Amino acid sequence: MSMLRAVAEGRARMSSSCEPDLFIDGVPCCDQMTAHALAHGGYIRLADDGTAAELTAAGRAVLGVPVAA
């Protein structure tokens, strides 16, 4: 949940590899297995800018964040 909150707050960056790594506040996330699971599970994705991580609709639903219309 804390990883999803960091992504929602705009504090996360993500690599674009097949096993995407997550960086929170510029520091590599200590639980990359969970970061990979969140990405592969469809909760987070690489934003259009190519570096930021963003929540998907599924990630927003888990956090209870309204999905923009």
* Structural domain contains residue 54: yes
Residue 16's pLDDT is 87
Structural domain boundaries, residue 24: 2-63
Tokens of 26: 């510029």
* Structural domain contains residue 27: yes
* Structural domain contains residue 8: yes
What total number of domains does the chain contain? 1
The 8 Å CB, 24+ separation contacts for 46-51 are: 46/14, 46/16, 46/20, 47/14, 50/16, 51/13, 51/14
In tens, the pLDDT along 7-66 reads 999 999 999 888 899 999 999 998 999 999 999 999 999 999 999 999 999 999 999 987
* Structural domain contains residue 69: no
Residue 60's pLDDT is 94
